[in-house]
């Protein structure tokens, strides 16, 4: 059957047969695609069955990423390779969390890591703590400035999530501040940031106001100390427009009373969906995403019916399902067992979660190819996948404007210019990798 399909398609493409109907060709392609998909699924399942058992170092990192309020810390297995533990914790952005667990182990009287490893953990945790304290101070200043200017602002992730979800807010890794404003307030917010000493990296009022560019955020950095602020006016880009967005987000927003004062954030339901969609858009590159969900669910009590209803309405059902399964399996998230059993009945979602879990628990880095595949597979509708690929490749953004500012009449030139910029970036990366390879030799 497959050989006949191949010959049928070849005859059609070479114009040797004029009697073939398009339906024949479509059916032939469908049979070949189905066979390829079946062989790919079989190969994936075989790889999952044959993969080596998880290393003790990775299992210890996973134990450190699980919420343990009122539970004894995990015991340290003997003969741990602490270089592997520290490398994996850095890669997955959970090194402060691992350091905090090790401190708990020392307090509980368990065996301590070797002095060099302990020194590395403590030094890294101290550097992270100082950086976070600095960012929290800048966050407090920005909230006060935005309030004085009468600009409503929602804080995304960052220090707000650390404060709401974690036992010790300074154990969560974040490198910048993400602020959400309405599109009508973007120009005023950008001017305010400039007055406070922040420089725009890829923002111009004329380019933003034109509505030509496919952008949902712009970046600022403080000139004196390098503090980075991402100013959002939508939660997700148009190419990956899943999950809650628009006026509904502002209507459901919640005001949180923190030690640093009141702060406006997403509702519990929107926060959970946003965390899973954000992790899906980046291809689940690190365990920190699963830890965020697990700690958030440990501290908050969201309405599960509302969560699944919003996710279904915003085409984020698969992203939510896979994110919950990963957080449950890897970080022990507090999700009702009935919900997890219901999610596991969906075979495609379960297989995607298994593959991503295998990538995350492998001490080797899967690279950008694996994360790109994850981002694509987590889009459920094939039409949405095609839209994602097309817009990611062709739609101009404010980064293209920064690459070469053009007058408004020449904006259509950004379509071929974007391809040129992407190609130049790819060439530079290949050249850099070859140079690094030659140096290592």
Least confident interval from 14-18, 204-208, 239-243: 14-18
**Helix/strand/coil (H, E, C) string of 91-122?**
HCCCHHHHHHHHHHHHHCCCCCCCHHHHHHHH
Q: Is 10 helix (H, G, I), strand (E, B) or coil?
A: helix
pLDDT of residue 255: 93
pLDDT category at 249 given cuts 50, 70, 90 is very high
CA-to-CA distance for 159 and 168, rounded, in angstroms?
Answer: 11
Taking the CA atoms of 138, 143, 146 and 148 in sequence, report the sign of the dihedral they define.
negative
* CA angle 127–132–134, rounded 5-degree value: 100
What is the signed CA dihedral for 333, 334, 339, 342, rounded to 10 degrees?
30
Contact 262, 256 (CB under 8 A): yes
The reported pLDDT for the residue numbered 279 is 96
Residue-level pLDDT at 366: 63
Joined together, the tokens standing for residue 248 give: 């509904």
What mean pLDDT do residues 337-366 have?
89
pLDDT at residue 119, rounded to an integer:
92
What pLDDT, on the 0 to 100 scale, is given for residue 430? 82
What's the rounded mean pLDDT across residues 164-189?
92
pLDDT at site 362:
86
Q: Poorest-confidence range of 80-89, 176-185, 365-374? A: 365-374
Token representation of residue 46: 């075989």
For 80, phi and psi rounded to 5 degrees? -75, 140
- Across 277-293, average pLDDT: 95
Please state, for a pLDDT cut of 70, what percent of the chain lies above it: 81
**Is the confidence at residue 108, as pLDDT, over 60?**
yes
Q: Strand pairing of 154-156 and 228-232?
A: unpaired
CA proximity to 130, closest of 170, 92, 189, 77 = 170
pLDDT at 233: 96
Res 274 pLDDT > 50? yes
The rounded distance, in Å, linking the Cα atoms of 365 and 368 is 9
pLDDT (0 to 100) of residue 16: 40
Percentages (nearest 5) of helix, strand, coil residues in the chain: 65, 5, 30
pLDDT tier at 80, thresholds 50, 70, 90:
confident
Q: For position 43, what pLDDT does the model report?
A: 47
- Res 8: pLDDT: 45
Distance CA 48, CA 40 (A): 12
Residue indicated by tokens 């899906």 = 280
In this model, does residue 126 exceed pLDDT 60?
yes
Q: Are 220 and 243 in contact (CB under 8 A)?
A: no
Give the model's confidence band at 21: pLDDT under 50 very low, under 70 low, under 90 confident, else very high. very low
Q: Which residue spans within 217-259 are E strands per DSSP?
A: 217-222, 228-232, 254-258
Do 396 and 212 touch, CB atoms closer than 8 A?
yes
For 377-403, what is each residue's pLDDT tens digit?
999 999 999 999 999 889 999 999 988
Distance of CA 288 to the CA centre of its chain: 10
- At residue 69 the predicted structure's pLDDT band, cuts being 50, 70 and 90, is low
Query: What is the structure's pLDDT at 435?
Result: 67
Query: With contact defined as beta carbons under 8 Å apart, do 292 and 156 qualify?
Result: no
* Greater pLDDT, 23 or 68: 68
Q: pLDDT tens, 39-55?
A: 444 544 444 444 456 68
Confidence at 260, pLDDT banded by 50, 70, 90: confident
Q: How far is 208 from 187, CA to CA, in rounded Å? A: 9
CATH code: domain 51-405 is: 3.30.460.40
Predicted pLDDT of residue 261: 81
* Residue 411, Cβ density class (10 Å: 0-12 exposed, 13-18 middle, ≥19 buried): middle
Kindly list the distances between the CA atom of residue 83 and the CA atoms of 117, 189, 252, 395, in Å, as whole numbers in the listed order: 7, 44, 45, 43
In this prediction, residues 184-198 reach a mean pLDDT of 95
- pTM equals 0.83
| Sign, Cα dihedral of 158, 305, 255, 239 | positive
Q: Is the pLDDT of residue 195 over 80?
A: yes
Q: How far apart are CA 319 and CA 280, in angstroms?
A: 6
What the block records as the tokens of 403 is 């690459």
pLDDT band at residue 440 under the 50/70/90 scheme:
low
Per DSSP, helices labelled H in 14-94 are 22-50, 56-64, 82-91
């Amino acid at each position: 059957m497959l050989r006949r399909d191949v010959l049928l398609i070849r005859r059609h493409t070479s114009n040797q047969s004029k009697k073939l109907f398009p339906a024949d060709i479509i059916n032939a392609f469908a049979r070949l695609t189905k066979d390829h998909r079946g062989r790919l699924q079989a190969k994936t399942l075989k790889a999952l069955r044959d993969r080596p058992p998880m290393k003790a170092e990775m299992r210890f990192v996973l134990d450190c990423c699980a919420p343990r309020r009122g539970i004894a810390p995990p015991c340290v297995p003997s003969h741990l390779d602490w270089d592997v533990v520290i490398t994996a914790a850095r890669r997955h952005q959970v090194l402060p969390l691992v350091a905090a667990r090790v401190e708990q182990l020392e307090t509980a009287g368990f065996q301590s890591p070797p002095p060099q490893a302990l020194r590395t953990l403590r030094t890294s945790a101290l550097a992270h703590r100082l950086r976070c304290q600095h960012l929290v101070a800048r966050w407090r200043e920005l909230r006060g400035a935005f309030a004085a200017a009468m600009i409503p602002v929602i804080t995304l992730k960052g220090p707000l999530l650390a404060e709401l979800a974690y036992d010790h807010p300074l154990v969560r890794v974040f490198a910048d501040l993400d602020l959400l404003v309405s599109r009508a307030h973007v120009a005023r917010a950008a001017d305010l940031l400039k007055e406070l000493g922040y420089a725009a990296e890829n923002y111009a009022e004329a380019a933003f106001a034109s509505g030509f560019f496919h952008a949902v955020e712009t970046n600022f950095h403080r000139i004196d100390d390098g503090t980075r602020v991402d100013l959002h006016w939508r939660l997700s880009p148009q190419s990956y427009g899943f999950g809650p967005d628009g006026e509904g987000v502002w209507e459901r927003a919640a005001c949180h009373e923190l030690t640093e004062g009141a702060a406006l954030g997403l509702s519990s339901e929107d926060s959970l969906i946003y965390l899973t969609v954000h992790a899906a858009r980046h291809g689940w590159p690190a365990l920190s995403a699963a830890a965020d969900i697990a700690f958030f669910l440990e501290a908050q009590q969201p309405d599960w019916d509302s969560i699944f209803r919003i996710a279904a309405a915003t085409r984020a059902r698969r992203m939510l399902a896979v994110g919950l399964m990963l957080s449950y399996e890897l970080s022990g998230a507090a999700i009702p067992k009935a919900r997890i059993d219901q999610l596991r009945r969906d075979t495609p979602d379960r297989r995607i979660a298994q593959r991503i879990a295998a990538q995350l628990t492998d001490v080797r880095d899967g690279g950008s190819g694996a994360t790109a595949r994850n981002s694509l597979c987590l889009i459920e509708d094939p039409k949405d996948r095609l839209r994602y690929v097309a817009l990611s490749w062709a739609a101009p953004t404010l980064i293209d404007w920064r690459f070469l500012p053009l007058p408004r009449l020449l904006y259509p030139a950004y379509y071929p210019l974007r391809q040129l910029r992407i190609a130049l970036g790819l060439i530079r990366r290949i050249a850099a990798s070859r140079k690094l390879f030659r140096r290592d030799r």
